[in-house]
Structures are given as structure tokens and as C-alpha cells.
Amino acid sequence: MFDPKRTLDLIKGALLNAEPTWQAYLPEAGDWKKTAFLLTGPLIIASSLIAYLFGFTVDDSSIFGMFRPTLLSTLLNIVFSGVAIGIFAFILSSLAGAFGGTNSFPLAFAAASFAFVPAYVGRALTWLPWIGGLLSIVLFIYALILLWRILPIYLNLPTEKRTLHYILSLVAGIVLSLIIGATFGRFMPGADMGKRLGESGFSSDPGKSASQSSGIIGTAMRQAEIMAAAEEDEYDPPSDGELNDKQVKEFIRVMVRASEMRASKEQRLKEIAEKADKKEQVSFSDITEMMGGVADMTGMAGAEMELVKSAGGNWAEHVWVRDSLRTAWLQKDINAAVKHNYKMYQKYESELAPYIAK
């Protein structure tokens, strides 16, 4: 099943003539085992072995000598790289199905394998003297751009869901890499990636607070702290169940500002995505920004929660206000409290409607 000439042609095509190569292989992409033997496996094995050989060019007495790959780490790297791309393909396919695309593991596996051809080449060159590290980072960025381009082709993602699918998939993939690195140490494949991400703006310094950390790790830590604080909030509603003007005005302030923040992030993500579509240069900071913005666009620990907590507010009270307004809009006058709250809703209807009446 392994065809060296075909494998080299696919690798060359993925690097130099990507989209025609993807389209030509698409009819065969339904067999993930074929992709594994023809492309993924050879890439993982070859890149790991070449990196191991280049490791001998590193001076043992230098600071990099302690990080160069060993035979054991190389073998483990091959195993866990295979596992990692399989899990990442599963993430891609599952999220694609959730967002209205094609939930197909074989197609996602082929898409990830083709997109990360430059990253595997970069891994092979990591220990090349002087420029290896820089080349590996540049090629990794290029791989992320190719991933953005290939996913709609292989997984039929709706245009409006494409960005969110991409971001969530990358975040899940990075978390997977960091977990592997933290669990198995520097001998595992996630460890060198974690180090590389740290050097490129993904802060993971445990001595920093969440608010001081940068990049996706800092964002995740900050949002985790906010969520933990919000979960501790308690609120006893008034016995009559009636809202007051102060509560409604504060709710409106938070929702308007949260909406502005999300719109700003969505616009920035759209600009970066358009750069990739036009084959313009996408920097590593652009990729960092894309992944760092995900926490404010998905889930409870987003802009809304952060706005409440950063102003010293009570998240439980905010949720009660939101639910009370929603109930009032739905029911109008089923009891005295709902009737009062519906009048409050009507008083601020033009400002509340975008967040309640939907």
C-alpha cells in the first residue's frame, strides 16, 4: 500500500501546489487507512527520524544540548504524533458535524494530514543549525493557514460557521498538545511544542497571574478564574420577585458592551481569515489572536461574565435579571411580579429587545 513515489508527489504538491493536490486526492480521502500508509505515517516517521539525525549537530555543551531528541524520545514522538493527529481529526470531524458540515473522520484525517505537511517538514528541520528553529515556526504557521483553506473543501463547512469551527478545533488541539507535554514530560511530542508556543507569545509562566499572562494560555487562565469566582456568587431575589431600574440599566450596560466586544473580535477574526483567503502573510501573532479570542465568543466564561465580575458585580444576580426579563417577555401578566417586570421591559424595550426577545 505504501508507494514512495506517490508519497513524495503528494508531499511536494501539498507544499507547492496545495489546492489542486487536495482536489485530486479527495476521491481517495474516504479511506483513512490509505491516507495513513500513503501520507501521514511516512511524514511522521521521516520527520521524526530526520530531526533525530539533525540533533547530532547540536553541541552537547550548549544549552540546547539537553533538549535535543534521543532515540527513545524519537520513537515515542512517532507513536504519540500518530495518536495526536487521529484525535485532532476526530475533533475536526465532530465539530464539523455540529456546525452543519460533514462529520467524516477519514476526510478530516486527510485534511489534517495534508495541511500539516509543512509542519512535519518544519519538525524535521528543527535542529538544523542556525535557522532550524525559525523555519519550523514559519512552516507551522503556514500549516495553520493551509488548514484554514482545506477544511471547507473536505468537510463542507457553512461559510458562517467556518471561523468558529476553525478556532475551536485549534484550541482543542493545542490543549491536547499541552496535556500530552505536561503529562509525559520533554520526551513526549507536546513538550517541544509547548516550549515553542511559550517562546512565541503563548505564556505559561506559573509565576504570572492570569491577568498578566498573554496568549491563549493567559486567556484560558483568566477565564477560568472569572468562572470560578462567578460560580461562588449567590443572590437572594426580592420576595416580591420584582426588578428595579438600577438592575435593568446595569443589565443593559453589560449586554451592550459585551455585544460591542464580540463584534470587534468577530471583525478582527474576519480580517485575519480574509488575509488567509487572499494568500496574504498571516503572522504568528495573528494566529495567537485568533485563538486567544475564542473564550470571549463561546461559552459562559465570555465577555458578559467578565464584564459583570470586573465591575464588582454579582453573576448570580445578573442571571436572575436576565431570566426574569425573559419570563416577563414571554408571559407578560401571569402574576403580579411578571406583570411588573413586563412593564419594566416595555420601559426599556428598544435597548432590551436584542438580548431578550430572540
Q: Where are the domains of the chain?
A: 4-199, 233-356
State the Cα–Cα distance between residues 94 and 169, nearest whole angstrom.
10
Burial 170-179 (b: 16+ CB within 10 A, else e): bbbbbebbbe
Per-residue pLDDT of 84-119, as tens digits, reads: 898 899 989 988 888 889 999 999 999 999 999 999
Count CB neighbours of 207 within 10 A. Answer: 6
Give the three-class secondary structure for 107: helix
**Weakest-pLDDT range from 67-76, 136-145, 220-229:** 220-229
Per-residue pLDDT of 264-306, as tens digits, reads: 777 766 776 666 556 555 554 555 555 454 444 444 346 788 8
Contact 116, 180 (CB under 8 A): no
Cell of 154: 473536505
| Greater model confidence, 1 or 76 | 76
Residues 6+ apart with CB under 8 A from 72: 187
State the Cα–Cα distance between residues 156 and 101, nearest whole angstrom.
5
State the Cα–Cα distance between residues 135 and 22, nearest whole angstrom.
24
With 0.85 as the threshold, say if the pTM is over it. no
Per-residue pLDDT of 188-198, as tens digits, reads: 434 444 444 34
